[in-house]
Chain A
C-alpha cells in the first residue's frame, strides 16, 4: 500500500465521520456519536500513518532530504491542515466531552479534502527547489498550518455562537451568518458541478483557474450564468428563511453561548501568537535568509498581514466595552475568511487576475 491509498481511506473515513456527526447532531443518539468518534479516530490514525509513509517515500526516492516532512506543496499542506484540525477537534471532544462540535468541524475537513479531489491537484511527491530547502520555511509552514487549524476551529465556534444567538431574521448578525453559510454552500456546489461536468484532472494552478466555476458562473452560455446566479441567490434566501431552524438544534446542545464565546476567544488566543511567530516572523526570516528582503509587500505577505490585523482587531475589540458576543463572533468569522483567502485566494484568484492571455 502506498501513501495515497492510505490517504484515500482516511478521506473516506472523514467523510463518513462527517455524515455520522451530522446524524448525531440531528438525532443525538449516543451510539451514533460513538461511531462518529470511531470513524474520526481511525481515519486520523490512518492519516498519520500515511503522512509518515509519504515522508519516508520522498526520502527513499531521493527527492527530499530526511529532515523534510511532506508539507511543501498545496496538496501536502491541505492534508496537513486537515490533520491539525482533526487533532485539535479530538482534543476538544475529549476535554469538553461534547460531540456536537464535530458536525461543524468535520465538514471543514471534508470540504478541504473535497477541494483536493475536485481540483485534481497533483499528488506527486515533488522535489524541492533550492529556495524551499530551509528550516525556517519548514517552521513557517508547520506553524502557519497549526494556526490555520486553530482559526478554523474558532470559526466553527463563532458560527455556532451566531446561530445560537440570532434572535431576529432582520438583525444584521442573523443576515450575516445565513448569507455567509449560503455563500459557502454556493461555492461548494459550484465546485462540485465543475467536477461533474469536466472531471478535471488538472495538475496545476492554471487548470484550477481555467475550470473553477466554468460549469456555473463563468460558463460560456449566458443562460447558465443567469441560472447560476438565480440559483445562488435562491439558495441563500432559503437559508436565510429557514436558518432559525438550525438554532434550535444547536441550542439543544450543552454548549452555551458563553462557553462558545469563551472557546472562540481561547482558540484565537492560541492561534494568534502561533500565527504571529510562525506565519509572520518565521516567514519574514525565511525570506530574509533566502532573498535578503524580510518584507516585500507581495500579495501573500500582505494578506497574512491583513489576517493578522483582523485577529488583532478581534482581540482589541473584545477589550472594549460593548463589543462582546455577536460583534466579535462576526470578526472571528471574517478572520477565518481572510485565512482561507491568504492561503488559497492569493494563489488561485489573484494570480488568475494577473495572468495574461489564455484566461478569459
Chain B
C-alpha cells in the first residue's frame, strides 16, 4: 500500500485494529458499569432517589435523577449506548484479530530453519559445552535426549567441516492461544444474544396436586405456552436438625405430553429438571391460604396392624384393630409453645406442622393432644398406637423458575474455549532449539541455542537439566 493518503475504510480498519481503542473501551465499559452498580437497575424511582440523596444531597437529587434517567442509567445495561460499547468492543476484537491473524498463522506454519553459526550470539538462551567423542558417535545420544525433552520431529542438516545441527520446535500452535481466547469472547457474546432473542425467562408457582401447561413471563407476567404440562406431586422442606434453617427443599414433578407421562423427577436447589429446552429450577416455596389440605398419617394400632390414611380437617378415622376414633380438630403450620405452655403459630410457613387430634372410644373422650410432624415422640399414644404424621398435602406450592435459553450451550462452549485459550496463552509456549555439533580434535563442541516466546527461564532450566544429563551419559 502506498504511504500516501489512506482512504476512509483503511483508517476505520486501523482504528478498529488498534490496541488503543481496546484500552479505551475497557475503560469506558468498566467506568460506566460502576454507575450501574450504584444506581439500582430497574428499581422504583424512590429507591434511587434515596441513594442519590445520600450521594449528592437533598436538593440536587431530583435533578440528578432526571439527568441520569434521561441518559438511560436506570436500566443502563440495556441502554443503546452500553450496547453500542459492547458492539464496538466486539468489532474491535474481530478486526484486531483478523488484522494480526495472517502474520501469526505464518509464524505458526513456518518450518524451523537451520541457523548459521555467526548468528549464535543473538540468541536469548545459549550454552556451549564440550563432550568426548566425535559428532557422529554423539548423534544417537543427542537425538534420544532431545526426544526426551519433548522435541519429537527433529531436523538434521550438516554443517561445514565435520559437524551437523539438530533443530526442532514445538508448541508453535500455542501462539494461537490469544486468538482462541478472543474468539471465545465472541462465542459467548453470540450465545448471549441468541438467549436474549430466542429465550424465555419466567416463573411458575405450582401448588401440590396442580398441573399447568403455561409459565409466566418475568418481563410482563403474561402466560407462555410450554407445549407440555407439568404437575407438582409433592413439595417438602428439610431442616438442619431441629432448627429453623432449611437444609434443602424439593419438589416431585411429573411432565405430561399428549396426556402421557413422559418424565418424573425430584428437583432440588441446584438440581433442576430439563425437558424440551425448558429448565425448571427450584427457587422458592410458599403456603396457599384458604385451602383445605389432606393430612396423611400412617396409623399403627397396638396390635401392630398399620394403615395409611388421608383425611381432611374435621374428619375422623379409626385406629386399626381398636374402637378408638380420632378426629382432627386443630392444625398449625408452625407450632410453638409460649411461656405458659399455650400453643401458638409463629409463622404461616410449614416450619413445624402440627395437628390436634381428639380420640374417643365408643363416643367417650379418651385422650387428645398435638401431634408434630418433626417430633416423632409426639406420635405415640398412651395405648401404644403410633400416629405417624407423614404430610399435610395440598397446601404448599413450589416456586419454580422456568427458563428456555437456546444460547446457553453456546455460552458454555465459549467458556470451554476460553479455558483452553487462556491455558494456551499463559501456560504454554512456542519453543525452539538448535543443537550445533562440531568436531574439535578428539572432542566435540556442542552449542545449544533456544528461544521461547513465554516463560523463558523455565525453558532455560529444562535445557540446563538436559545438559547435565548429557554430560552424565557421555
Chain A interface (Cβ < 8 Å from any Cβ of B)? 62-63, 127-131, 133-134, 269-270, 272-273, 276-277, 281, 284-285, 288-295, 297, 299, 302-303, 305-306, 309-310, 312-313, 316-317, 319-320, 346, 350, 353-354, 356
Taking A130-B269, A272-B426, A313-B23 as contacts, is the C-beta distance between A285 and B248 under 8 angstroms? Answer: no
Specify the main secondary structure of chain A where it touches its partner: helix
B415 contacts which chain A residues (CB < 8 A)?
281, 284-285
Interface-facing stretch out of B35-43, B302-310, B319-327, B377-385: B35-43
Q: List 14 A-B contacts (CB under 8 A).
A: A62-B240, A130-B248, A269-B426, A273-B422, A291-B281, A292-B279, A292-B405, A305-B30, A306-B34, A319-B19, A346-B37, A350-B38, A353-B51, A354-B47
Taking A63-B240, A272-B426 as contacts, is the C-beta distance between A316 and B269 under 8 angstroms? Answer: no
- Asked whether B272 is an interface residue with its Cβ less than 8 Å from the other chain, the reply is yes
Is B240 in contact with A127, judged by CB distance below 8 angstroms? Answer: yes
- Asked whether B249 is an interface residue with its Cβ less than 8 Å from the other chain, the reply is yes
- Asked whether B153 is an interface residue with its Cβ less than 8 Å from the other chain, the reply is no
A306 contacts which chain B residues (CB < 8 A)?
30, 33-34
B124 to chain A, nearest CB (A): 14
Residue of B nearest to A307 (CB): B30
User: Beta-carbon contacts of B384-427 to A below 8 Å, as 1s and 0s?
Assistant: 00000000000000000111010010011001001100110111
Taking A309-B29, A316-B22 as contacts, is the C-beta distance between A303 and B37 under 8 angstroms? Answer: yes
Given known contacts A130-B270, A270-B426, A310-B30, what 12 new A-B pairs fall within 8 Å (CB)? Answer: A62-B240, A130-B246, A130-B268, A281-B418, A292-B201, A292-B281, A297-B36, A297-B77, A312-B26, A317-B23, A320-B20, A350-B37
Is A273 in contact with B423, judged by CB distance below 8 angstroms? Answer: yes
A309 contacts which chain B residues (CB < 8 A)?
26-27, 29-30
The 7 closest A-B pairs by CB, nearest first: A130-B269, A292-B403, A299-B37, A273-B422, A309-B30, A313-B26, A127-B240
- Asked whether B119 is an interface residue with its Cβ less than 8 Å from the other chain, the reply is no
- Asked whether B262 is an interface residue with its Cβ less than 8 Å from the other chain, the reply is no
Q: How many angstroms between the C-alpha atoms of A276 and B23 in the bound complex?
A: 18
User: Beta-carbon contacts of B1-43 to A below 8 Å, as 1s and 0s?
Assistant: 0000000000000000001101100110110011011101100
- Asked whether B340 is an interface residue with its Cβ less than 8 Å from the other chain, the reply is no
Residue of B nearest to A311 (CB): B26
User: Beta-carbon contacts of B247-283 to A below 8 Å, as 1s and 0s?
Assistant: 1110000000000000000001110100000010111
Partner of B201, one of A281, A293, A320, A354: A293
Q: How many angstroms between the C-alpha atoms of A272 and B41 in the bound complex?
A: 28
- Asked whether B241 is an interface residue with its Cβ less than 8 Å from the other chain, the reply is yes
Interface residues in B, total, Cβ within 8 A = 54
Q: How many angstroms between the C-alpha atoms of A288 and B283 in the bound complex?
A: 12
Is B26 in contact with A316, judged by CB distance below 8 angstroms? Answer: yes
Residue of A nearest to B76 (CB): A297
A5 to chain B, nearest CB (A): 25
Partner of B283, one of A291, A295, A319: A291
A312 contacts which chain B residues (CB < 8 A)?
26
- Asked whether B91 is an interface residue with its Cβ less than 8 Å from the other chain, the reply is no
B360 to chain A, nearest CB (A): 41
Partner of A292, one of B23, B401, B426: B401
B27 contacts which chain A residues (CB < 8 A)?
309, 313
- Asked whether B54 is an interface residue with its Cβ less than 8 Å from the other chain, the reply is yes
A273 contacts which chain B residues (CB < 8 A)?
422-423, 425-427
Is A127 in contact with B245, judged by CB distance below 8 angstroms? Answer: yes
Residue of A nearest to B78 (CB): A297
B423 contacts which chain A residues (CB < 8 A)?
273
B248 contacts which chain A residues (CB < 8 A)?
130, 133
Taking A130-B249, A350-B37 as contacts, is the C-beta distance between A356 and B50 under 8 angstroms? Answer: yes
B37 contacts which chain A residues (CB < 8 A)?
299, 302-303, 346, 350
Q: How many angstroms between the C-alpha atoms of A360 and B412 in the bound complex?
A: 44
- Asked whether B192 is an interface residue with its Cβ less than 8 Å from the other chain, the reply is yes
- Asked whether B243 is an interface residue with its Cβ less than 8 Å from the other chain, the reply is yes
Partner of B269, one of A133, A317, A320, A346: A133
Taking A302-B33, A353-B38 as contacts, is the C-beta distance between A127 and B281 under 8 angstroms? Answer: no
Q: How many angstroms between the C-alpha atoms of A181 and B175 in the bound complex?
A: 39
Q: Could you tell me which residues of chain B, from 39 to 58, have a CB within 8 Å of some CB in chain A?
A: 40-41, 47, 50-51, 54-55
A92 to chain B, nearest CB (A): 14
A63 contacts which chain B residues (CB < 8 A)?
240
Q: How many angstroms between the C-alpha atoms of A293 and B245 in the bound complex?
A: 25
Q: How many angstroms between the C-alpha atoms of A285 and B419 in the bound complex?
A: 14
Q: How many angstroms between the C-alpha atoms of A295 and B22 in the bound complex?
A: 23
Residue of B nearest to A312 (CB): B26
B415 to chain A, nearest CB (A): 5
Is A133 in contact with B270, judged by CB distance below 8 angstroms? Answer: yes
A134 contacts which chain B residues (CB < 8 A)?
270
B403 contacts which chain A residues (CB < 8 A)?
292-293
Q: How many angstroms between the C-alpha atoms of A98 and B418 in the bound complex?
A: 35
Q: How many angstroms between the C-alpha atoms of A292 and B425 in the bound complex?
A: 31
Q: How many angstroms between the C-alpha atoms of A232 and B33 in the bound complex?
A: 29
B243 contacts which chain A residues (CB < 8 A)?
127
B242 to chain A, nearest CB (A): 11
Is A131 in contact with B41, judged by CB distance below 8 angstroms? Answer: no
A205 to chain B, nearest CB (A): 17
Q: How many angstroms between the C-alpha atoms of A312 and B282 in the bound complex?
A: 36
B241 contacts which chain A residues (CB < 8 A)?
62
B23 contacts which chain A residues (CB < 8 A)?
313, 316-317, 320
A12 to chain B, nearest CB (A): 33
A354 contacts which chain B residues (CB < 8 A)?
40, 47, 51
Taking A130-B268, A269-B426, A354-B47 as contacts, is the C-beta distance between A281 and B33 under 8 angstroms? Answer: no
Taking A291-B283, A291-B401 as contacts, is the C-beta distance between A127 and B272 under 8 angstroms? Answer: no
A319 contacts which chain B residues (CB < 8 A)?
19
Is B272 in contact with A292, judged by CB distance below 8 angstroms? Answer: yes
Partner of B54, one of A281, A302, A353: A353
Residue of B nearest to A290 (CB): B270
B286 to chain A, nearest CB (A): 15
B219 to chain A, nearest CB (A): 13
Residue of B nearest to A310 (CB): B30
B76 to chain A, nearest CB (A): 9
Q: How many angstroms between the C-alpha atoms of A276 and B185 in the bound complex?
A: 11
A276 contacts which chain B residues (CB < 8 A)?
418, 422
B279 contacts which chain A residues (CB < 8 A)?
292
A313 contacts which chain B residues (CB < 8 A)?
23, 26-27, 30
B401 to chain A, nearest CB (A): 5
Q: How many angstroms between the C-alpha atoms of A109 and B54 in the bound complex?
A: 33
B417 to chain A, nearest CB (A): 11
A297 contacts which chain B residues (CB < 8 A)?
36, 41, 77
Taking A313-B26, A320-B19, A354-B51 as contacts, is the C-beta distance between A131 and B269 under 8 angstroms? Answer: yes
A305 contacts which chain B residues (CB < 8 A)?
30, 33
A289 contacts which chain B residues (CB < 8 A)?
270, 272
Q: How many angstroms between the C-alpha atoms of A294 and B405 in the bound complex?
A: 10
Is B247 in contact with A127, judged by CB distance below 8 angstroms? Answer: yes
B246 contacts which chain A residues (CB < 8 A)?
129-130
A306 to chain B, nearest CB (A): 5
Residue of A nearest to B281 (CB): A292
B427 contacts which chain A residues (CB < 8 A)?
273
Residue of B nearest to A135 (CB): B270
A349 to chain B, nearest CB (A): 9
Residue of A nearest to B36 (CB): A302
B201 contacts which chain A residues (CB < 8 A)?
292-293
